[in-house]
Amino acid sequence: MNDTPSAHRPSSSQPPANESECAVDVVIVGGGPSGCGAGISTARYGLETLVFDRGNASLRQCAYLENFLGFPGGIDVPTFYDLMHDHVSSAGGEVIADRVCDVTAIDSGFRVDTDDDRTITAPFVVATSSYDGGYLRGLDDDTELFETHCHDGETHEHFDSEYVREQGRTPIDGLYVAGGLAGHGEQALIAAGHGMTVGRALLEDVRRADGWWDEVAPHYDWRRRTESFQHDFDDTEALHELFDATRLPDDHNIDDSVHERVRATAIELFTNSHIDRDTVDQRIAEGYDRLVAQLDQSQLLERIDDDVIERYVRESDQ
């Protein structure tokens, strides 16, 4: 369901273990609520996104998740994990069951090493592994990155959430922190929302680095009804006028080529964010398919009225 212009689309697929090196746009460490919230943002925008998920998890300790929005009867944690990970995949990202053990700074951003001998390079890393920040050691002074405290006579060291700035940014260019690790892990929904906030901050930084200005830098991942737009999507001149009237500051000194490039991409994103009734119907069907695929089939059948099943079988036979 990704309508991002081709310039932002991912170009390569999941690296197998032992492949010497692979480059992506974003590596997310942790596939819990915050990591998946961040991953859905960046992948849907078209940044090539890998989510690594293995190791100590907060949510996996929850007996049964009863207060996540949208599940009025609650949901068991393994099914919730399957749904989150499938959502990252449907957004265009990849979830890999592997543990990140080291992140090092390199000229182009970061080199990420995993327990299963994967090596990935990426300009952006989002750390969302609520309890484990040890792989960040060496990126800055230890006294800045970590705090120590005594518990039962033993000294423990933890990533210091005060290292994190607003919207998950950090003093290190390209490094972001979300969810429990950033001090936003009180509830799963809060962590997921923070993850998406951090993903959006990353996208805003990518756009600003590309010349996008205040009025256009934040990205809104919205789906709009085609019929709600009063203009003709094929009338390029009218769309240019509309953009310049609403998104260009009065006394700007934006370079012409930057103006034209940003305008073209922004209009393409805006156009693609509109979907017509047929597409909505198609996506509703695909949404059900995807949801049902993650649910236990026999549990589902048990809950459907026998008469409904009988009628369905009879009509299918006919």
Ligand X SMILES: Cc1cc2nc3c(=O)[nH]c(=O)nc-3n(C[C@H](O)[C@H](O)[C@H](O)COP(=O)(O)OP(=O)(O)OC[C@H]3O[C@@H](n4cnc5c(N)ncnc54)[C@H](O)[C@@H]3O)c2cc1C
C-alpha pair distances (Å), 183 with each of 150, 160, 177, 262: 19, 9, 9, 35
Closest CB 33 distance from ligand X, rounded Å: 4
| Chain residue at closest Cβ approach to ligand X | 32
DSSP 181: G
CA–CA distance, 249 with 232 (Å, rounded to integer): 24
Touching ligand X, residues 267-306 (CB under 6 A): none
The yes or no reply on residue 197 touching ligand X (CB under 6 A) is: no
Touching ligand X, residues 102-121 (CB under 6 A): none
Q: Which residue, among 37, 27, 17, has the nearest Cα to 194 in the 3D structure?
A: 37
Closest CB 93 distance from ligand X, rounded Å: 14
CA–CA distance, 179 with 189 (Å, rounded to integer): 10
C-alpha pair distances (Å), 301 with each of 75, 146, 176, 224, 298: 18, 51, 43, 35, 5
Nearer to ligand X, 176 or 270 (CB): 176
Task: Out of 179, 200, 207, 262, name the contact with ligand X by CB under 6 A.
Answer: 179
The yes or no reply on residue 84 touching ligand X (CB under 6 A) is: no
The yes or no reply on residue 168 touching ligand X (CB under 6 A) is: no
Closest CB 190 distance from ligand X, rounded Å: 6
Closest CB 214 distance from ligand X, rounded Å: 30
C-alpha pair distances (Å), 63 with each of 75, 119, 175: 10, 34, 32
Nearer to ligand X, 120 or 267 (CB): 120
CA–CA distance, 9 with 227 (Å, rounded to integer): 27
Closest CB 42 distance from ligand X, rounded Å: 15
The yes or no reply on residue 67 touching ligand X (CB under 6 A) is: yes
Nearer to ligand X, 61 or 257 (CB): 61
CA–CA distance, 47 with 315 (Å, rounded to integer): 45
The yes or no reply on residue 138 touching ligand X (CB under 6 A) is: no
Nearer to ligand X, 112 or 269 (CB): 112
The encoded tokens of residue 226 equal 């085609």
- Contact predicate 127/140, CB 8 Å: no
**How many residues lie near ligand X (CB under 6 A)?**
35
Exposed/middle/buried for 220, CB within 10 Å: 0-12, 13-18, 19+?
A: exposed
Query: Taking contact as CB under 6 A, which single stretch among the options 12-20, 56-64, 161-169, 277-285 is the one that binds ligand X?
Result: 56-64
Of all helices (H) and strands (E), which one includes residue 51? strand 49-52
Closest CB 253 distance from ligand X, rounded Å: 42
Query: Taking contact as CB under 6 A, which single stretch among the options 1-9, 10-18, 125-133, 209-217 is the one that binds ligand X?
Result: 125-133
Task: Out of 11, 12, 19, 56, name the contact with ligand X by CB under 6 A.
Answer: 56
Closest CB 13 distance from ligand X, rounded Å: 19
Backbone angles phi, psi at 151, to 5 degrees: -140, 125
The yes or no reply on residue 15 touching ligand X (CB under 6 A) is: no
Binding residues vs ligand X (CB under 6 A): 29-35, 52-59, 61-62, 65-67, 99-100, 128-130, 132, 135, 179-180, 185-189, 191
